[in-house]
Amino acid sequence: MSGPFAMGVDTPQEGERVGRRTGWRLRLHSTVTIGNVDRFVADPQHTAALSGEIELPGITRRIPFRNGTFQLFVPSRGAGLRLMTYEAEFEHAGARHRFAGEKRVRDDFGFDLMPDTTTLHSRLYRNGDAVEGGGVLRIGLAGLARMIASMRAREAASPDEAARAMAVFGLLFGRNLREAYLSRPQAWAEAARRRAVPSEAGWER
pLDDT tens for the chain, residues 1 to 205: 999 999 999 999 999 999 999 999 999 998 888 888 888 888 889 999 999 999 999 888 999 998 899 998 888 776 678 889 999 999 998 899 999 999 988 766 555 667 788 899 999 999 888 999 999 999 877 776 666 666 666 666 677 777 777 777 777 776 766 666 665 555 445 444 545 554 343 333 2
Burial of residue 170, with CB atoms counted within 10 A of its CB: 0-12 exposed, 13-18 middle, 19 or more buried: exposed
pLDDT at site 18: 97
For residues 124 and 140, what is the distance between their CA atoms, to the nearest angstrom? 22
For residues 48 and 41, what is the distance between their CA atoms, to the nearest angstrom? 10
Domain for residue 203, yes or no? no
Domain for residue 201, yes or no? no
φ/ψ (deg, to 5) at 191: -65, -40
Number of structural domains (the chain) is 1
For residues 140 and 142, what is the distance between their CA atoms, to the nearest angstrom? 5
Domain for residue 131, yes or no? yes
175 is in which domain, residue-wise? 2-196
Region of 184 on the Ramachandran plot (φ > 0 left; ψ -120 to 50 alpha; else beta)? alpha
pLDDT at site 120: 96
Domain for residue 123, yes or no? yes
Domain for residue 48, yes or no? yes
